[in-house]
Amino acid sequence: MSSQPQINPKKQQELQLQYTNFKNTLQQLAQKIGDLEQEAEEHKLVIETLDPLPKERKCFRMVNGVLVERTVQDVLPSLKTNSDGLKQVLEEMLKQYKSKQGELDSWKKKNNIQVVQP
């Protein structure tokens, strides 16, 4: 005999669905965070490469799928602006992830959920 009370199958299915939704949301956020981190790292590398170069040196930049000729002086400020924007978005995404993780933890505690790994 089981010492735990039996849960209504419909309620169990509902809880399982909620848990799956939480996990999917967290996984999507983690994927977006990873993508943003990669893009921010690429911006950082390009900025580090262009910084020591002469400002009038020719460089190329992809704009909406078109390769455009510019100078380092033209490209560097917009790269730095984009990099700063990526960092801000990344911080927000991390806050969302932590918040969602906290929601999941409190939901598991509230519903007395224990995850069993197969």
| Helix, strand, or coil (residue 1) | coil
Number of domains in the chain: 1
CA–CA gap between residue 92 and residue 98 (Å, rounded):
10
Structural domain includes residue 41:
yes
CA–CA gap between residue 87 and residue 94 (Å, rounded):
11
Cβ neighbour number for residue 93 with a 10 Å cutoff = 18
- Inter-residue contact 67 to 60 (CB < 8 Å): yes
pLDDT (tens digit per residue) in 14-49: 888 999 999 999 999 999 999 999 999 999 999 999
The residue range of the domain holding 37 is 10-108
Structural domain includes residue 54:
yes
Structural domain includes residue 73:
yes
pLDDT over 70 for what percent of the chain?
Answer: 92
Q: Provide the CATH number for the domain around residue 25.
A: 1.10.287.370
Q: Pick the residue with more confidence: 45 or 61?
A: 45
